[in-house]
């Protein structure tokens, strides 16, 4: 897994830049607590903070290898290449030898053999940098769904890059500034952040499925992978069989590790299917994990959670004969750690949804170094309300924004006029639609299905991937995401909704593909969302903290949002207070304001409007 950082400059001598790169790498120690190392040449300095998962002794980084002519190439890599064994065998037939068992060495050798075309051969979750001494070229690559983060910024004649913004901000030439576009990303489209936008001024993300090539002639970013629209001719039975076969192969590859592996298990179909396949692949010894936040009433009192997770998760664990550990969280802990997400994400987050996930990952890390997650199944198989309900689907913007107000309604009027939130959202929506592959022969309804699917994979899913990566890596836990496999996406992008909702059942393909692996009660269980705290005591305590914030005349957040608008919402209409996500709860909305203020304070953010 790990964290990466680096600095290249084509005009400057970087041989004395060790302290800078070490400072950048040090910020990533939670991502890679096992070792921090660097490699420096005249025009490149690479850093690596390692979480040892495969080839514990041999996979040290940054890794350097020479080509057949003696030219050097260096690599710093975060993630996993799941098909590294197959690639290693192919490279061996081409005359390459290996001194380690690591996927890192395979990745580096693949670049030496195939150049940047090697990206098409990779199956995994990854973010990495290659410094090619022969061509004085930097190559940055990010996996197809953005499971692993990768940020960069320009510095005069150079480029700095890192797994997280905090590492870039440790570079002396990068500062924490928020311009008008950054404000719009935080307040107008917080749930559908624009791919490539790093929120901080001058900081960018390498987009999922893209590679960036930087030379002394400039920086060029291009896509190496996109979904393609094709006719789907398989019937329901064939479709489910194909999905089952794909999932078995995916999980077989993703349980490979030289450290203990566990799973996240809520008792829903997504995590349960992954857990069942992992248990079969490992042949026993698996432990699953779940979280239990403070309750907000009895089962069914929350429309987003029509049933409690506990009994279903226990049923799955019992049926598979595996261990199951539940992380119980109380109100005091939620309040004390309300900004855990901020420390991990470098941006204001999702309140208690972040806190409970962070605490769950802490529990898992005491048992395992790797965990498999059911994330991305809803996006792939059509499990969300905004993919199914006609009101959401027909909304003339991002479907998850239907009937929702965004935090931009709290902005000061001068800031609102500057960013024009409605125009910003519309522009980003049409930009997203322009990327959707289509078949001219399909009717408008089917084309719109493709649009909704594509929006989910390119705008909704990246936010979930970012949250999961940053919170897990903050405790040195590697979380793998079997449903975020490009082969599965390529197949399901072309499966029409009438099959995904076969016989009127949401996620019918996944349910049928899982039948026989799990008890029927779990296969047929309706969706129950990740638990957001609606506990009255927790909400009241978060409201008290916001009231204290309103009383602080120097609170920096009020340079951005209107104090009286916030006061009115918090004192008179708390339920109307907007939050950063679809499943709005008062606690998450309150937390967002508190985290915005902490963010300005702790990151010394300067408004540059």
The DSSP element (H or E) to which 590 belongs, if any, is: helix 586-602
Report cis status (omega within 30 of 0) of the bond before 486. Answer: no
**Burial level of 413, CB count in 10 A (0-12/13-18/19+)?**
exposed
Task: Please answer whether residues 372 and 251 qualify as being in contact, where contact means their C-beta atoms are separated by less than 8 angstroms.
Answer: yes
Question: Alpha helices, DSSP H only, in 283-376?
Answer: 309-320, 331-336, 340-345, 352-365
Q: How far is CA 341 from CA 18, 173, 286, 355, in A?
A: 30, 26, 28, 6
Q: How many CA atoms lie within 13 A of 506 on its CB side?
A: 19
d(CA 482, CA 278): 10
Q: How far is CA 565 from CA 311, 410, 411, 413, 558, in A?
A: 43, 6, 8, 11, 10
Question: Alpha helices, DSSP H only, in 456-574?
Answer: 461-473, 486-492, 497-500, 508-514, 520-523, 536-550, 563-571
Q: How far is CA 234 from CA 62, 121, 180, in A?
A: 46, 26, 48
Q: How many CA atoms lie within 13 A of 534 on its CB side?
A: 16
| Packing angle of the helix pair 269-282, 236-254 (nearest 10 deg) | 60
Q: Which of 1, 2, 75, 269 is catalytic?
A: 2
d(CA 455, CA 77): 28
* Partners of 46 in the β-ladder: 6, 39
Question: Is 2 in the active site?
Answer: yes
For the chain, report the end-to-end CA distance as a whole number of angstroms.
Answer: 37
Secondary structure of residue 76 in the 3-state scheme: strand
Structure tokens at 322: 């595996």
Residues with catalytic roles: 2
């Amino acid at each position: 897994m790990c964290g990466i950082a680096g600095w290249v400059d084509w005009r400057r001598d970087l041989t004395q830049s060790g302290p800078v790169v070490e400072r950048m790498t040090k910020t990533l120690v939670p991502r890679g607590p096992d070792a921090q190392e660097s490699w420096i040449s005249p025009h490149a300095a690479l850093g690596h903070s390692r979480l040892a998962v495969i080839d514990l002794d041999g996979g040290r980084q940054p890794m350097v290898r020479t080509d057949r002519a003696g030219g050097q190439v260096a690599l710093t890599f975060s993630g996993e290449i799941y098909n590294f064994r197959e690639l290693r065998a192919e490279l061996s037939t081409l005359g390459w030898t290996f001194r380690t068992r690591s996927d890192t060495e395979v990745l580096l050798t693949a670049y030496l053999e195939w150049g940047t075309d090697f990206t098409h051969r990779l199956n995994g979750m990854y973010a990495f940098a290659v410094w090619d001494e022969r061509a004085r070229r930097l190559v940055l690559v990010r996996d197809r769904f953005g499971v692993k983060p990768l940020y960069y910024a320009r510095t005069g004649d150079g480029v700095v890059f890192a797994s997280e913004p905090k590492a870039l901000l440790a570079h002396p030439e990068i500062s924490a500034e928020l311009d008008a576009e950054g404000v719009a990303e935080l307040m107008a489209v917080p749930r559908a952040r624009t791919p490539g936008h790093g929120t901080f001024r001058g900081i960018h993300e390498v987009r999922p499925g893209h590679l960036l090539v930087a030379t002394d002639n400039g920086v060029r970013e291009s896509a190496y992978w996109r979904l393609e629209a094709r006719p789907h001719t398989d019937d329901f039975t064939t479709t489910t069989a194909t999905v089952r076969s794909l999932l078995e192969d995916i999980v077989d590859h993703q349980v490979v590790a030289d450290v203990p592996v566990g799973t996240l298990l809520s008792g829903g179909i997504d995590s349960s299917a992954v857990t069942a396949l992992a248990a079969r692949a490992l042949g026993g010894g698996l432990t699953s994990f779940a979280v239990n936040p403070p309750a907000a009433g009895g089962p069914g009192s929350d429309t987003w959670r029509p049933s409690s997770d506990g009994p279903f998760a226990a049923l799955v664990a019992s049926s598979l004969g595996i261990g199951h550990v539940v992380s119980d969280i109380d109100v005091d802990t939620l309040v004390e750690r309300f900004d855990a997400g901020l420390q991990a994400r470098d941006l204001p987050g999702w309140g208690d949804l972040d806190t409970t996930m962070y605490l769950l990952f802490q529990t898992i890390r005491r048992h395992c170094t790797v965990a498999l997650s059911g994330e991305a199944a809803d996006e792939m198989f059509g499990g969300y309300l905004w993919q199914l309900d006609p009101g959401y689907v027909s909304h003339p913007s991002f479907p998850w924004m239907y009937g929702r107000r965004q935090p931009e309604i709290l902005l000061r009027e001068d800031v609102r006029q500057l960013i024009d939130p409605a125009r910003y959202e519309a522009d980003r929506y049409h930009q997203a639609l322009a990327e959707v592959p289509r078949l001219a022969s399909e009717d408008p309804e089917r084309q719109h299905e493709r649009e909704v699917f594509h929006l989910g994979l390119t705008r909704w899913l990246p936010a979930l991937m970012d949250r999961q990566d940053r919170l897990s890596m903050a405790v040195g836990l590697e979380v793998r995401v079997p449903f975020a496999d490009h082969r599965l996406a390529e197949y399901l992008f072309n499966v029409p909704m009438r099959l995904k909702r076969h016989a009127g059942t949401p996620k019918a393909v996944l349910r049928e593909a899982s039948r026989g692996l799990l008890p029927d009660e779990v296969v047929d269980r309706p969706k129950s969302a990740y638990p957001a705290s609606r506990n009255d005591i927790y909400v009241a305590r978060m409201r008290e903290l916001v009231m204290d914030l309103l009383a602080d005349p120097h609170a920096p957040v009020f340079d951005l949002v209107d104090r009286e608008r916030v006061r009115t919402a918090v004192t008179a209409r708390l339920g109307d207070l907007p939050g950063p996500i679809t499943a709005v709860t008062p606690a998450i909305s309150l937390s967002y304001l508190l985290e915005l203020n902490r963010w300005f304070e702790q990151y010394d953010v300067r408004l540059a409007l």
